[in-house]
């Protein structure tokens, strides 16, 4: 029996979390889901969007999966998602981006992996108003975090039989901060001679990914570029509805889709549960449930390829729960 913390999140989070949970349970593996709530809805009760007991549950179980949580824009509380990654030192954000057959996209054979540094950079939100008309945000990059994420990218490349790691930066302009990130990646690369290494300036990387995605394999990026390039890569495979992810630390892993809480679709049983379901595939692999992971992956890919019981973003009319039902039926048929 696995004990896993499940944070449904808000917006579309609860619907896709329920779909994911039903799909995973249908594989027959035994999971005790410890449901914990975070975000704006718990503010009035606990005075914080991320109560200590939520962190404690994840620290105890070591494995968590979550739906997206809304972050107020401009003012209000800081991102719960970023806080979770920092508090639990989930330093590596892993986002595999691969084409699924049957999805309408300009590209058909995308197979890219984003490894995003998760703990520092402008994402730390270290900013202030200097005066009424001047704002400042501090970009802090450390050798320790840069080497750690580069090592993660190379180890991942070896474990997954990948060929190349590309470090992405803007070291021509931010010679200090991005320069340190690049220098760290270059130094780490020397320890992995079996994996090809190169670097790209982030703007060029974006153009290259749109024009020649087949030239790239694993990319390692500082936090903010990783965030932006993740959505670009989701666009290459047909949208955020099918882009999974994981936040991984030395002891704890937290799985979540690349997309956010899409508030305007909340409660409509409309959005695609695939990104969270594919995040659960990463989770099942991580906890050693390889057979269940394969079942969920194959069943999801089959439903997407058939294109009948799929959500609006994939050209269908099915709701979130109907798509989950179709995936469960496939899992049962797969035996």
Footprint on this chain of ligand NAD (rule: CB under 6 A): 68-71, 81, 240-241, 256, 259-263, 271-272, 275, 313
Rounded distance, CA 312 to CA 320, Å? 10
> 334 near 298, Cβ under 8 Å?
yes
Nearest approach in angstroms of CB 161 to ligand NAD is 28
How do strand 111-117 and strand 2-7 relate by DSSP bridges?
Answer: unpaired
CB atoms under 10 Å from CB of 144, counted, come to: 11
Please identify which of the residues 163, 175, 203, 250 carries the catalytic annotation.
203
Rounded distance, CA 253 to CA 302, Å? 27
Residue nearest to ligand NAD (CB): 260
Please state the three-class secondary structure of 18-63 as a single string. HHHHHHHHCCCCCEEEEECCCCHHHHHHHCCCCCHHHHHHHHHHCE
Please identify which of the residues 66, 170, 295, 330 carries the catalytic annotation.
170
Nearest approach in angstroms of CB 272 to ligand NAD is 3
Nearest approach in angstroms of CB 85 to ligand NAD is 9
Catalytic, 133? Answer: no
> 255 near 68, Cβ under 8 Å?
no
Please identify which of the residues 123, 156, 216, 265 carries the catalytic annotation.
123
* Nearer of residues 240 and 293 to ligand NAD, judged by Cβ: 240
Nearest approach in angstroms of CB 18 to ligand NAD is 13
Rounded distance, CA 113 to CA 115, Å? 6
* Nearer of residues 184 and 241 to ligand NAD, judged by Cβ: 241
Catalytic, 10? Answer: no
CB neighbour list of residue 156: distance below 8 Å, 6 or more residues apart? 94, 113, 115, 162, 218
Please identify which of the residues 227, 295, 313, 330 carries the catalytic annotation.
227
Catalytic, 170? Answer: yes
* Nearer of residues 122 and 165 to ligand NAD, judged by Cβ: 122
Nearest approach in angstroms of CB 240 to ligand NAD is 4
> DSSP letter at 9?
-
Q: Cα 301 to chain center, whole Å?
A: 19
Coil/strand/helix, residue 66: strand
Catalytic, 217? Answer: no
* Nearer of residues 100 and 262 to ligand NAD, judged by Cβ: 262
* Nearer of residues 213 and 319 to ligand NAD, judged by Cβ: 319
Residue for token pair 């913390």: 5
> DSSP letter at 39?
S
The dihedral region occupied by 142, where left means phi > 0, alpha psi between -120 and 50, and beta the remainder, is beta
Nearest approach in angstroms of CB 313 to ligand NAD is 4
* Nearer of residues 94 and 171 to ligand NAD, judged by Cβ: 94
Q: Catalytic amino acids?
A: 123, 170, 203, 227
């Amino acid at each position: 029996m696995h004990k896993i913390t499940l944070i449904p999140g808000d917006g579309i989070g609860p619907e896709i979390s329920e779909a994911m949970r039903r799909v995973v349970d249908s594989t027959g593996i035994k999971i005790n889901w410890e449901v914990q709530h975070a975000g704006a809805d718990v503010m009035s009760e606990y005075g914080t969007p991320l109560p200590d007991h939520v962190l404690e549950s994840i620290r105890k179980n070591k494995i968590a999966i979550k739906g997206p949580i809304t972050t107020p824009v401009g003012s209000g509380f800081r991102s719960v998602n970023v806080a979770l990654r920092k508090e639990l030192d989930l330093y590596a954000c892993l986002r595999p981006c691969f084409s699924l057959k049957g999805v309408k996209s300009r590209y058909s054979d995308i197979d890219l992996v984003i490894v995003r540094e998760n703990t520092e950079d402008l994402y730390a939100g270290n900013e202030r108003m200097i005066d009424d008309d001047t704002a400042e945000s501090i970009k802090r990059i450390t050798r320790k975090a840069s080497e750690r994420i580069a090592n993660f990218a190379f180890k991942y490349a070896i474990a997954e039989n990948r060929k190349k790691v590309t470090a992405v930066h803007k070291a021509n302009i931010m010679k200090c901060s991005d320069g340190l990130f690049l220098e760290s990646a270059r130094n780490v690369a020397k320890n992995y001679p079996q994996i090809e290494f190169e670097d790209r300036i982030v703007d060029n990387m974006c153009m290259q990914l749109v024009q020649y995605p087949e030239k790239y394999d694993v990319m390692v990026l500082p936090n903010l570029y990783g965030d932006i390039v993740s959505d670009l890569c989701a666009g290459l495979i047909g949208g955020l509805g099918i882009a999974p992810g994981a936040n991984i630390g030395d002891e704890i892993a937290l799985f979540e889709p690349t997309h956010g809480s899409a508030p305007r679709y909340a409660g409509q049983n409309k959005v695609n549960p695939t990104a969270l379901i594919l995040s659960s595939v990463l989770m099942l692999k991580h906890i050693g449930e390889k057979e269940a992971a394969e079942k969920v992956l194959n069943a999801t890919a089959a439903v997407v390829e058939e294109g009948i019981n799929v959500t609006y973003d994939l050209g269908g009319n099915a709701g979130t729960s109907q798509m989950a039902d179709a995936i469960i039926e496939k899992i049962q048929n797969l035996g």
